[in-house]
Chains A and B, each alone.
Chain A
């Protein structure tokens, strides 16, 4: 086959279609399609992966028996533990602490800092990370953090926006905590020295996001999560709180009911370690790397649903397991970056979704599920998508409009990360549109909590993406980094209070996994699947076919 000819990063046939987009740009400049009615939203959602038939089944056992979940998640809930416990010596814990935090993204790191702030002895805290401290979805958050702090806005309005975005399924008490604490979190970030985008007069730059009725998105260029995590992690390190890296948790330990510790696994040496803790905060993030329904993902390498698998086995109650967030604008071209996130802020600042005929076909800031479904409809029902050399379909996101509307230089200033990423593949997003298609982005549901992150299990708190309820069945932009920091902080404070009156360690046993294994057998689950899976596997098939294990 002849080599494809590329012009400015795009093959010739895509280049021709870009000319169509260029031609209609100035006509579209002041035209924004109307937002959908509730009925129109319901119609288009029929082609959203959550609503399209198939892909889900009822969970066969445990606290959420009969609830629907994606097959990929149900597979892991209906899987056997990696160990039965008899292999391990639980009598000599390697770490005896007051507070064990599992996961070092924004939620876990915030929890550690706040537990310490509220009086937990730093030596009695242990933060464990599967990869490095900070390798998390948090660090990749681009668009912003919501906080209702302008005069024409209010926490109540923030509440209503999030409720509507979540199809009125959000857990109200938890959502109330989220919106009420948001300004406190912004203040905390200022105190820690985060560089949040400012207007010339020193006020925050605040933008709209999909489904928000006021401008309340605070950003740090398009490195919002990176900046938030950098400062909180730096504070964590200055407080000298103990942490370990490359140590995934492969099982929680209980006394039969209460969470009392965890088993860590050293991926380099194969050795295990036992942690005994009075309280545990689970902040393990989401499940993007399960590639639900075969979608690519924006998520980091370790997003494999470990947290819900471990907690469910111990008896934690989940909720909203039936929904998954697909971000409308994942990269669909070039091949090397398929699925990576192109922040919603691009649309907040004027970039328009455009079909192959150069038409603006949808209001750019619908809630994420509606926007994503409209892209799928444009590509697969109306057949107005653009097809790439590898067979991906997508719609254009007309990024040059950002510069038309906000002036030359805006893209480099507001989206340095994205500009750099495309530049690495010879694409200039200031001059040419980029191709997008929905990508698996966020675990909407998760472990149910009260407003302080506390679960139905004694000794267990959760914070961040692993939790469920605050976003209901669909999260709005800018509420995830906020979720992590609000409930990281709240769980840290709540644990500090708990520890003031609960001073005993519990027994370390595998009783809960034994019970769960019995339940699996009783439910007739016959499988070799084991969980948690810890990491995805992208190895070449030819290599796997010749793999041998000799020591």
Chain B
């Protein structure tokens, strides 16, 4: 039914229009006002900060990456009119609110050490060698409050100071390295870089490579699967199709 099917495609495109090519002004029910770098803009209610800035006319050449909360590029600092607190957010994952005063921080020039993981141990020594400033932590909790991923940053720094690499790695796992902890830290730490080191130490030294993987690599290097692969490559599409449809499937 070609007509039906092309019709379906038009309907789908129509329903996606506001996401793909921007909201039509006549469809906007509610408006809010936000300030970007101190200038006021009227934007539709219900958008993310990122979408609202685009509606206002910004075409990002920085401070915009994955648009889905994974990359930490759209780090945003804001305050709501009438409130004294400076707050933090990822622009792609936060609804724009009326009275927001905001700016973005596209880059954090924090220091990162150079190290060879093979020469380190999963102990406090790694930090004392590469990031001794970790001991300067004041325990003020500004980092935890700033984290848009709700990570208990102060707690993992405390773990690091005790040499508890495992806990530091686990607590920091969801870090997207946006740099907001470092921006807000009065002791000038670069927490997210220390956490990166902790996770690699944990992954390398505290969770050994499983035997089944090492065995498989030995088999591959010994050529165990070459014959089967040769045969598959020689097999006709028709025969492959048969093998494919009749293969047994392990229960999920």
Footprint of B on A, CB under 8 Å? 1, 38, 46-47, 49, 51-55, 131-132, 134-137, 139-140, 147-152, 154-157, 159-161, 163-164, 168, 172-173, 176, 179-180, 183-184, 186-187, 190-196, 198, 202-204, 207-208, 213-215, 220-221, 223, 225-227, 230-231, 234-235, 237-238, 240, 246, 267-268, 291, 293-296, 298, 300-302, 335-341, 348, 365, 376, 380-381, 390-393, 416-417, 420-421, 424-425, 535, 537-544, 547
**Interface residues of B, CB < 8 Å — how many?**
96
Q: Please list 6 pairs of residues, one from A and one from B, whose beta carbons are closer than 8 Å in the complex, sorted by A's number.
A: A139-B66, A163-B240, A187-B209, A267-B62, A365-B252, A539-B59
Assess whether B73 is in contact with A132, with CB atoms less than 8 Å apart. yes
Instruction: Write out the residue numbers on chain A whose beta carbons fall within 8 Å of the beta carbon of B23.
Output: 540
Assess whether A193 is in contact with B201, with CB atoms less than 8 Å apart. yes
Instruction: Write out the residue numbers on chain A whose beta carbons fall within 8 Å of the beta carbon of B109.
Output: none
Assess whether B174 is in contact with A417, with CB atoms less than 8 Å apart. yes
Assess whether B225 is in contact with A535, with CB atoms less than 8 Å apart. no
Q: Can you list, as one digit per residue, whether each of B66-108 has a CB less than 8 Å from chain A (1) or not (0)?
A: 1111110100000000000000000001110000000000010
A338 to B67, CA, bound (A): 11
Q: Which of B34-61 contact A (CB under 8 A)?
A: 46-48, 51, 54-61
Assess whether A180 is in contact with B225, with CB atoms less than 8 Å apart. yes
Question: Which A residue sits closest to B170, measured CB to CB?
Answer: A195
Footprint of A on B, CB under 8 Å? 1-2, 4-6, 8-9, 11-25, 29, 46-48, 51, 54-62, 64-71, 73, 93-95, 107, 112, 114-117, 149-150, 169, 173-174, 176-177, 196-197, 199-205, 207-210, 212-214, 216-217, 220, 225, 228-229, 232-233, 237, 240-241, 243-245, 247-250, 252
Assess whether A151 is in contact with B212, with CB atoms less than 8 Å apart. yes
Instruction: Write out the residue numbers on chain A whose beta carbons fall within 8 Å of the beta carbon of B233.
Output: 172-173, 176
CB distance from B91 to the nearest CB of A (A): 11
A137 to B107, CA, bound (A): 20
Assess whether B18 is in contact with A155, with CB atoms less than 8 Å apart. no
Question: Which A residue sits closest to B3, measured CB to CB?
Answer: A53
Question: Which B residue sits closest to A331, measured CB to CB?
Answer: B68
Partner of B176, one of A54, A226, A337: A226
Assess A160 versus B93: contact at CB under 8 Å? Given A187-B209, A535-B60, A540-B57. Answer: no
A381 to B249, CA, bound (A): 30
Question: Which A residue sits closest to B241, measured CB to CB?
Answer: A168
A301 to B176, CA, bound (A): 17
A545 to B150, CA, bound (A): 40
A91 to B247, CA, bound (A): 60
Partner of B15, one of A134, A336, A391: A391
CB distance from A119 to the nearest CB of B (A): 17
A293 to B16, CA, bound (A): 10
Assess whether B54 is in contact with A135, with CB atoms less than 8 Å apart. no
Given contacts A140-B70, A168-B241, A390-B18, 18 further A-B contacts (CB under 8 A): A131-B65, A132-B65, A135-B65, A140-B71, A150-B212, A151-B212, A154-B228, A156-B225, A172-B233, A173-B233, A202-B207, A208-B252, A231-B199, A234-B196, A294-B20, A380-B12, A390-B15, A540-B57
Assess whether A294 is in contact with B61, with CB atoms less than 8 Å apart. no
Assess A215 versus B232: contact at CB under 8 Å? Given A155-B225, A541-B22. Answer: no
Assess whether B202 is in contact with A193, with CB atoms less than 8 Å apart. yes
CB distance from B112 to the nearest CB of A (A): 6
Assess A54 versus B9: contact at CB under 8 Å? Given A240-B114, A335-B46. Answer: yes
Partner of B252, one of A54, A179, A215: A215
A390 to B237, CA, bound (A): 45
